[in-house]
Structure 1
Amino acid sequence: MSGVAVEDLLGLWSEELRGAKARLRPLFLQSGTAASAGAFLDGLLGPERRKTGWMRAEAAGDTGPWRQQAVLGRTSWDADALRDVVRDYALDALAEPDATLVIDETGFLKQGRASCGVGRQYTGSAGKITNCQIGVFAVYTSSKGHAFIDRRLYLPKDWTGTPDRLVKAHVPEDVRFATKPAIAAAMVRRAIDAGVPFAWVAADSVYGVGELEMVLRRAGKGYVLGVTGSHHFNSWSPTLSVSGTAEKIARDLPAESWIRLSAGDGTKGPRLYDWAYLELADFDPEMVGATPGLGLWTRGLLVRRRPVDGELAFFTTWCRHGTPVDTLVRVEGQRWSIEDAFETAKTELGLDHNETRSWHGWHRHVSLVMLAFALLAVVRHKADTLATPPKTMRKVPHLWSVGRCRRSVVLPTA
């Protein structure tokens, strides 16, 4: 946000914070509760490292955390309505037709057994099986920025199969066990029903095959979804004969099948990897129940190789026929946005500082953090717009897949 005058930046912050609080007010029946929710938002955005009830209360000038706790527990308001408010607020600033919806999960370390959804389960946040909650999230990512637009607490089977635990944690009666891919598919359907403009979905291997794939194919949305090396691929193309696991196929590719491309800028510059892309089959989407008239689409295998040690990662892809490999690489590279969002939300906004134990307490806390994060994203985008004049886009050459009837992904040296 360099290049913006301080007074302009302060004015932008003030305007956006007032606007965010105005969006909050209709969710509450009482003005006092709406004011407490606004103070809650102030606390999340404040300088305190711990965003606990006491810390937020002190920042708001309260003598105790009771008003802050009431926002999460004792009052009656709809956290899903706030989720939708956050989504619409973020889209007002960040929407683009070719945006990517990135889906991933994160863990919340906990003590004891009372917090809703808690149990011994694997979380990448800790890199091991530990006592924690797991939340599945969707982040909207475009060239203008990224923000959370959806979330859901994952309930393991030892929760959904124990009615007494569900009652004590105030889990709604209509909530049943759902796998993480099923939760992701529900988020995609919700985004489509809400008219969210996006063209792609990216996710890791937890979500790579099954229900999510079918939802996206029927909706005419492209995807780059992680799969394991043991996932089996077959080519149905008459010009390319491939059959075997993703790892075996990648190991057998000739050197000329690989091209070095950046998956986007990181903290140390471009994130360069070697990539290979195989177009395995062309489909008319009507074959999988999609709306007629979408044209020809291609199922493929995208492989990423780390130059330092040759470590491989594999992705199943679905895209419009003729989509260049650099587009698929860009979509896969946008998965970093949700990692950035988790880190920022946890270290700066108190995403994992939730002190409640109930279903609605978790979703209320997380939705308020999502609003705080969306505010940051909107302020950054608008500040960048003030500071940076429009630039002429440089035309990027199209890079095609491996295949006998197409140009190689390796372009001749100029």
Structure 2
Amino acid sequence: MCSASLESTLELWSTTLRQAKQHIRPLFAAPSVAASANAFLDGLLGGERRKTGWMRAEAAGDPGPWRQQALLGRTHWDAEALRDVVRDYVVETFASPDAVLMIDETGFLKQGKASCGVGRQYTGSAGKITNCQIGVFAAYVSDQGHAFIDRRLYLPKAWTGDPARRQAAHVPEAITFATKPHLALAMFERAIQAEVPFAWVAADSIYGVGEIELALRRAYKGYVLGVTGQHHFWSWDANLDVAGTAEDIAKGIPDQDWVRLSAGAGSKGPRLFDWAYLPLATLRADALDVALDQSLLTRGLLVRRSLSDGALAYFTAWCPAGTPVERLVMVEGRRWAIEDAFESAKTELGLAHNESRSWHGWHRHVSLVMLAFAMLARVRRLANRTPPKTTLIAKLAGAVVHPGDPARGDAAGAAAH
């Protein structure tokens, strides 16, 4: 029994990898390019801690990194088509009508000025302004698991307005300056166009206001979006006289209106906070747009308070009337999934080890990493459908299916949640 279980586990890995390679084969006209992509994927999934061109080449048995570099820079294939393949692969694995679409960004520390989009800008990855690239990502999160489905390199004005730098980095002529919220809006619109099933969107305060809110409302998507303490709210309820900044409103919330809830399981147990929710405006959808139906929807203010230092965080929420605060907390709590995915993809799959300086090189590298992450997430999902029946089998399966526990930051471990 032990041997059969182990064999089944190994077969799941090999079958999933083989299927992933079959998914991307139509993207490459030449068999040699397809073979390079397969070797690249193998290298990302290998045991080397750094996924540089030389490391990937050694894993593939190549004398040097030139084949790996050519795949990112000199061959002709469409990274956007690969992005769409990854998105469909993720939805096929984790589809849920109640899923959350997460939007967030991450930084890629760089030296020099040649890498496309590089510049001195703030990144939460370093917690400061530093020389880096910034990528905006979308992740699909359901109760089945999570993985990335979209990405885009942020191009600062210093790049979009410099023809020489654009040409050197092979930035397409059609690419113009776009703010991070506009990049996020485009990702949301692509997901809608592709009929990705989801009910909610969550993001931090960079993406929390403006066109995104309007687009989500018109698409009947609920959201929990971070805002600053200076964001203004007001009530349309005659029985609730509330108006002012989020910070000022939160100060007036009575003690009995706070409830302690978990935002999800963390490495040390439930992530507990105190929460307060004020539904400020309930109205019919067609009051916003006559093309919409007459569903009752509510706009509200969600406030999170830390148990350790009392620090507050604020969120604007849009949801069907009567949605309980527990549901909104669950949506906001799903934000940890994309942060965990960033860490795992960087430490285990080489997300930050891109050595290409071009626009298409960045998107090709990142899209291949997204595929590797999605594949690991799929393996974990399928493996967990039939848990081992004995402790010994569980240990053996864990050694193969679960190369690391989520607490270790392992990509396969992280992809389970």
- The question of a shared fold, defined as TM-score above 0.5 by the shorter chain, is answered with yes
Cα deviations across residues 25-47 of structure 1 (Å, max 9, x unaligned)? 10001011101100000000000
1:54-73 aligned at under 5 Å gives the runs: 54-73=54-73
Tell me which residue corresponds to 2:308. 308
* Aligned residue in 2 for 1:269: 269
Q: How far off is 1:17 after superposition?
A: 0.0
Structure 1 residues 294 and 349: CA distance shift in structure 2, 3 A: farther
Deviation at 1:238, TM superposition (A): 1.4
The CA distance in 2 between the partners of 1:12 and 1:216, in whole Å, is 38
CA deviations over 1:212-253 (Å, ceiling 9, x no partner):
111101111000000011111111111211111111111111
Contact 2:100 2:140 in 1 (8 A): yes
Instruction: Check whether the contact 1:286–1:292 (CA below 8 A) recurs between aligned residues.
Output: yes
Q: Are 1:219 and 1:291, in contact at CA under 8 Å, matched by a contact in 2?
A: no
Return the alpha-carbon distance in structure 2 between the equivalents of residues 264 and 294 of structure 1.
33
Q: Distance in 1 between matches of 2:310 and 2:369?
A: 38
The equivalent residue for 1:186 is 186
Q: Where in structure 2 are the equivalents of 1:12-411 lying within 5 Å?
A: 12-289=12-289, 291-293=291-293, 295-387=295-387
* TM-score relative to the length of structure 1: 0.92
Gaps of 5+ in 2: 390-417
Question: Residue 20 and residue 294 in structure 1: after superposition, are their counterparts in 2 closer, same or farther (change >3 A)?
Answer: farther
**Which deviates the most, 165-174 or 296-305?**
165-174
Q: 1:292: how far off?
A: 2.6
Aligned with 2:264: secondary structure? Answer: strand
CA contact (8 A) 1:219 1:290 kept: no
Separation of aligned partners in 1, 2:36 and 2:278: 54
Deviations 1:138-179 (A, max 9, x none): 000000000000000000111111122111111111111000
Counterpart of 1:385, as a letter, is R
Following superposition, which runs of at least 4 residues in structure 1 exceed 3 angstroms of deviation?
Answer: none
Q: How many residues in Structure 1 have an aligned counterpart in Structure 2?
A: 386
Cα distance change on mapping 1:290 and 1:387 into 2, 3 Å: farther
Instruction: Say which SS state the counterpart of residue 170 (structure 1) adopts.
Output: coil
CA deviation profile, 1:186-212 (whole Å, cap 9, x unmatched): 100000000000000000011011111
Q: Which amino acid aligns with 1:147?
A: A
Distance 2:226 2:67 in 1: 43
- Determine helix, strand or coil for the equivalent of 1:97: coil
Q: Supply the AA of the counterpart residue of 1:241.
A: D
Contact 1:302 1:316 in 2 (8 A): yes
Deviation at 1:6, TM superposition (A): 2.1
Q: Report the secondary structure of 1:150's partner residue.
A: strand
Cα 1:74–1:384, aligned 2, differ >3 Å: closer, same or farther? same
Query: Distance between the aligned counterparts of 2:302 and 2:386, measured in 1?
Result: 38
Residues 260 and 383 (structure 1), Cα distance of their counterparts in 2 relative to 1, 3 Å cut: same
Mapped to 1, the partners of 2:311 and 2:73 lie a distance apart of: 47
Contact 1:147 1:370 (8 Å CA) reproduced: yes
Cα distance, 1:290 vs structure 2: 7.1
Equivalents in 1 of 2:286, 2:186: separation in Å?
A: 22
For each residue in 1:281-340, what CA deviation from the matched residue of structure 2 results, as whole angstroms up to 9, or x when unmatched?
012222333753261110000000011111100000000111111000000000000001
C-alpha deviations, 1:25-74, integer Å up to 9, x for none?
10001011101100000000000011001100000011111111111011
CA distance in 2, matches of 1:102, 1:5: 35
- Judged with a 3 Å threshold, the aligned counterparts in structure 2 of structure 1 residues 172 and 290 are, in CA distance, closer, same or farther, namely farther
For the 8 Å contact 2:72–2:365, the answer to whether it is kept is yes
| Contact residue 261 and residue 326 of structure 1 kept, 8 A | yes
Contact 2:218 2:292 in 1 (8 A): no
- Post-superposition shift, 1:24? 1.3
Alpha-carbon displacement from aligned partner over 1:318-366 (angstroms, at most 9, x marks no partner)? 0011111100000000000000100000000000000000000000000
> d(CA) in 1 for partners of 2:136 and 2:379?
25
SS in 2 for 1:206: helix
Task: Decide whether the 8 Å contact of 2:5 with 2:388 is kept in 1.
Answer: no
Counterpart Cα distance in 2 of 1:290 and 1:22: 46
- The 3 A distance-change label for structure 1 pair 11 and 149 is same
Question: How far apart are the structure 2 equivalents of 1:291 and 1:386?
Answer: 46
AA partner of residue 260 (structure 2): R
Asked if structure 1 preserves the Cα contact closer than 8 Å seen for 2:57 and 2:63, the reply is yes
Query: 1:388 offset after TM fit, Å?
Result: 8.1
Residue deviations 1:107-133, cap 9 Å, x none? 000111111000000000000000000
Q: Residue type matched to 2:368 in 1?
A: L
Q: Secondary structure at the match of 1:387?
A: coil
- Look up the SS of the partner of 1:11 in the other structure: helix
Are the equivalent residues in 2 in contact too, given 1:24–1:38 (CA < 8 A)?
Answer: no
Q: How many angstroms apart in 1 are the aligned matches of 2:144 and 2:9?
A: 18
TM-score using structure 2 length: 0.91
**Which letter does structure 1 place at the counterpart of 2:152?**
R
Structure with greater helix share of residues: 2
Between the aligned partners of 1:307 and 1:296, the Cα distance in structure 2 is 34
When the two chains are superposed, the root-mean-square deviation of aligned CA atoms in Å is 1.2
Distance across 2 between alignment mates of 1:255 and 1:284: 31
Is the CA contact 1:217–1:290 (under 8 Å) kept in the aligned structure 2?
A: no
Distance 1:164 1:85, change over 3 A: same
CA distance in 2, matches of 1:321, 1:145: 28
Whole-angstrom CA distance in 2 between matches of 1:203 and 1:291? 27
CA 1:102–1:294 in 2, change beyond 3 Å: closer, same or farther? farther
Identity within the alignment, %:
70
